[in-house]
């Protein structure tokens, strides 16, 4: 966890007087405090614009926002017996928490975007780049070590990427993944045990990648998978590092949604409050999706919220659904939005810890608040 920012009506009104906000109107005389987690990146940017535009206040919500750097700590806080978070944004890597039937359960409540945040980067010495063929990438990864934060979305993304490179090859010639972080390999079966085809995934915090890829010493990192905005900063500022692949460049069929999850207990005990929070997020999503200019404004608002320099966040690290698309995606349970959620469920159910049977797909969803917001908000 990085820090907590409490957003009150008073603070928002001060910002309005300073010309930062256009409105500080609230519908309810008393605000209900909700503990909300956002990630320090592009994915959760609707949280920033919801603060700046006053959408939480409009809905009578005092957003007590905690900024997190990655999902595992967030999930631990939300699932703790003494819960310190009620609802939060997550990437696909920790989505298994909403599928896990054990302990304090979570539920999917909101589809935010389709993530293109993950990036495979390489030092130029490897001779690969975005224009390299799948066969070139396959050969470049044989016997190599690659750094990533395996418990977050890059870990799952890299498994899919290796699977793509292995397509059409016999098992004895397929690349396989090894990691000393055993939890990363839950549900994974190596196609062979030939060390010539082994890729070692070294668990490395995303925040450590810039220093590692700049180092010339023993801690030097030459191959890595990370998530934005750190990845985009690395390739922009380090001339020795190139972008090799992302979902959009090599696996567009593997787009996974980034979502918001909430404590199931909190939802059951506070349905009216949950609806108001989802209403605010939906308004923010509609704003972001209306135009490229408004998407950029959303990123600038998020940079203010998380304390990053202007221009740190890019609108091109995610696919931003429009209001019309979202309404169409969730018009019924056979529509595209539910297909994205099923794909996420099927990809992450294998990460549920051993000994627990994954919840059925339908039991992971509490989308009734989101569907109502999509119907009611014009």
Averaged pLDDT, 208-228: 95
> Does one domain contain both 351 and 261?
yes
Give the pLDDT band of residue 115 (cuts 50, 70, 90). confident
Structure tokens at 100: 């896990």
User: pTM of the entire structure?
Assistant: 0.76
Q: Note the pLDDT tens digit of each residue in 3-16.
A: 344 543 333 333 33
Averaged pLDDT, 59-65: 98
Q: Note the pLDDT tens digit of each residue in 264-295.
A: 999 999 999 999 999 999 999 999 999 999 99
pLDDT score of 153: 87
Give the pLDDT band of residue 149 (cuts 50, 70, 90). very high
Mean pLDDT value across the chain? 91
pLDDT > 90: what percent of the chain?
A: 81
pLDDT score of 316: 85
pLDDT score of 354: 87
> Does one domain contain both 309 and 368?
yes
> Does one domain contain both 98 and 190?
no
pLDDT score of 2: 37
pLDDT value at 1 more than 60: no
pLDDT score of 280: 98
| CATH code, domain with 370 | 3.40.190.10
Averaged pLDDT, 49-62: 98
Burial class (CB in 10 A: 0-12, 13-18, 19+), 354: exposed
Region of poorest pLDDT, from 65-69, 248-252, 372-376: 248-252
Structure tokens at 330: 């969730």
Count of structural domains within the chain? 2
> Does one domain contain both 233 and 270?
no
pLDDT score of 19: 36
> Does one domain contain both 107 and 160?
no
Q: Note the pLDDT tens digit of each residue in 220-251.
A: 999 999 998 899 899 999 999 999 999 989 98
pLDDT value at 28 more than 60: no
Among candidate residues 225, 254, 283, the one where a domain is terminated: 254
pLDDT score of 30: 86
Among candidate residues 193, 224, 254, the one where a domain is terminated: 254
> Does one domain contain both 108 and 122?
no
List the one residue out of 119, 148, 366 whose CA is nearest residue 245. Answer: 119
> Does one domain contain both 310 and 202?
no
pLDDT value at 23 more than 70: no
Pairing of strands 32-39, 61-68: parallel
pLDDT value at 56 more than 60: yes
Averaged pLDDT, 330-334: 96
pLDDT score of 81: 97
> Which of 185-189, 308-312, 360-364 tops mean pLDDT?
360-364
Among candidate residues 254, 281, 298, the one where a domain is terminated: 254
> Does one domain contain both 321 and 353?
yes
pLDDT score of 251: 87
> Does one domain contain both 139 and 206?
yes
> Does one domain contain both 290 and 365?
yes
Q: Note the pLDDT tens digit of each residue in 287-312.
A: 999 999 999 999 999 999 999 999 99
> Does one domain contain both 326 and 206?
no
**Boundaries of domain holding 286:** 3-115+255-376
> Does one domain contain both 38 and 80?
yes
Give the pLDDT band of residue 256 (cuts 50, 70, 90). confident
What is the 3-state secondary structure of the chain? CCEEEECCHHHHHHHHHCCCCCCCCCCCCCCEEEEEEEECCHHHHHHHHHHHCCHHHHCCEEEEEEEECCHHHHHHHHHCCCCCCCEEEECHHHHHHHCCCCCCCEEEEEEEEEECCEEEEEEHHHCCCCCCCHHHHHHHHCCCEEEECCCCHHHHHHHHHHHHHHCCCCHHHCCEEECCCHHHHCCCCCCCCCHHHEEEEEECCHHHHHHHHHCCCCCCCCEEEEECCHHHHHHHHCCCEEEEEEHHHHCHHHCCEEEEEEEHHHHHHCHHHHHHHHHHHHHHHHHHHCCHHHHHHHHHHHHHHHCCCCCCCCHHHEECCCHHHHHHHCCCCCCHHHHHHHHHHHHHHHHCCCCCCCCCHHHHECCHHHHHHHHHCC
Give the pLDDT band of residue 29 (cuts 50, 70, 90). low
């Amino acid at each position: 966890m990085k820090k907590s920012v409490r957003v009150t009506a008073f603070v928002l009104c001060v910002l309005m007087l300073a010309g930062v906000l256009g409105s500080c109107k609230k519908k309810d005389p008393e605000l209900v405090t909700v503990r909300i987690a956002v990630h320090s990146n592009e994915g959760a940017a609707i949280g920033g614009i919801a603060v700046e535009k006053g959408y939480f206040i409009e809905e009578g919500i005092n957003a007590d926002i905690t900024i997190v750097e990655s999902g595992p700590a967030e999930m631990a806080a939300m699932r703790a017996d003494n819960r310190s978070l009620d609802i939060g944004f997550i990437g696909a890597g920790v989505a298994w928490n909403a599928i896990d039937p054990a302990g304090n359960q979570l539920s999917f409540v909101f589809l935010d975007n389709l993530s293109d945040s993950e990036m495979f980067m390489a030092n130029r010495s490897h001779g690969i780049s975005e224009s390299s063929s799948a066969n070139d990438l396959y050969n470049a990864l044989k016997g190599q070590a690659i750094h990533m934060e395996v418990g977050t979305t890059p870990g799952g993304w890299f498994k899919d990427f290796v699977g793509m490179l292995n397509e059409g090859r016999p098992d004895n010639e397929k690349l396989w993944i090894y990691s000393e972080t055993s939890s990363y390999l839950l549900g994974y079966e190596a196609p062979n045990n030939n060390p010539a085809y082994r890729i070692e995934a070294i668990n490395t915090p995303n925040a450590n990648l810039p220093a590692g890829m700049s180092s010339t010493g023993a801690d030097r990192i030459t191959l890595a998978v990370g998530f934005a905005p750190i990845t985009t900063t690395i390739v922009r500022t380090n001339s020795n590092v190139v972008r090799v692949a992302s979902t959009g460049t090599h696996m567009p069929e593997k787009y996974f949604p980034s979502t918001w999850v909430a404590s199931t207990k909190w939802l059951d005990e506070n349905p009216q409050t949950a609806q108001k929070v989802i209403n605010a997020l939906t308004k923010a999503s509609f704003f972001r999706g209306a135009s490229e200019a408004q998407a950029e404004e959303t990123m600038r608002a998020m940079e203010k919220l998380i304390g990053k320099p202007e221009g740190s966040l890019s609108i091109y690290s995610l696919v931003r659904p429009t209001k019309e698309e979202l309404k169409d995606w969730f018009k019924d349970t056979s529509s595209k939005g539910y297909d994205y959620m099923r794909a996420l469920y099927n990809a992450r159910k294998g990460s549920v810890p051993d000994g627990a049977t994954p919840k059925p797909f339908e039991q992971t969803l509490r989308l009734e608040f989101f569907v109502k917001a999509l119907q009611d908000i014009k």
